[in-house]
Amino acid sequence: MQRPSTSKGYSAYTRMMHNMAEYLCMVELFFANSRAFDSMIPVPKKATKAAYQGGFFDRVLGPNAEYIITLRHPVPAAISTYEKSGGLPDGGRFSVRGNIESWVKRDNICAGVPENRVEQMGYFEAYLNYWEHYHYNLLLTGLRVNPKWQVVAYGKERIESMAAGFYRRFGSTLGPDDFKVFDQRARHPDWMRQAEPVVRRVSDVWRQAGVDFPFDAIMEAW
């Protein structure tokens, strides 16, 4: 669940509704003259935060919305996050320097970690806890009400195949660009060992809820 700000007079939920309303107004303007397919105009939207309020997004976007759920192993995902923030912090301790890292801190607090302890944690310990709970949120907060889910494990062939499907579906003669991946598996072998039981636990929870989790593909660790 998204943790509301404690600032006086501020509501994260009201802000979320305002942002969605603004987005829908922009969609109406920007896509007004776009070509329709099957009587509908395709509108792409990156919605990482939808995991936290899945029921709200599903209700607002309606039954025709389609969700592409891209799943990535927590080690390369953590590496990507810290590289975007300037590198692994000194001493390997967690630090908030960007948006995703702010989510990591918030989600650790929501999971019961005392606020004053989060930035004393190891970087990957904090990130892995966030990764685990984020994937529970994807499954349990309401997005799954809509059956139009496509789960794609991160990887060159899988991502390109998924993208090529959209080109075919919408009658384009073009094709996807080359999707570049980099092998990061040898950089943090201790993180790889730490991650495996968590990935298995998430896979088990998804399976118990009747949703396939591509464990073997995720464990390729792209």
CA distance 71 to 172: 26
Which CATH number describes the domain made up of 12-218?
3.40.50
pLDDT, tens digit (0-9, with 9 covering 90-100), for 177-207? 999 999 998 999 999 999 999 999 999 999 9
What pLDDT score was predicted for residue 102?
95
Task: Tell me which amino acid residue 107 is.
Answer: D
CA distance 128 to 75: 8
What pLDDT score was predicted for residue 8?
63
Sign of CA dihedral 16, 141, 43, 65: negative
Cβ-based neighbour number of residue 201 at 10 Å: 13
**Residue ranges, the chain, pLDDT below 70:** 1-9
pLDDT, tens digit (0-9, with 9 covering 90-100), for 142-184? 999 999 999 999 999 999 999 999 999 999 999 999 999 999 9
Q: Which residues contact 59 (CB under 8 A, 6 or more apart)?
A: none
Inter-CA distances, 4 with 14, 15, 52, Å: 10, 10, 12
Cβ-based neighbour number of residue 69 at 10 Å: 17
Q: Which residues contact 201 (CB under 8 A, 6 or more apart)?
A: 132
What pLDDT score was predicted for residue 1?
46
What pLDDT score was predicted for residue 4?
46
Residue the block writes with tokens 């987005």: 23
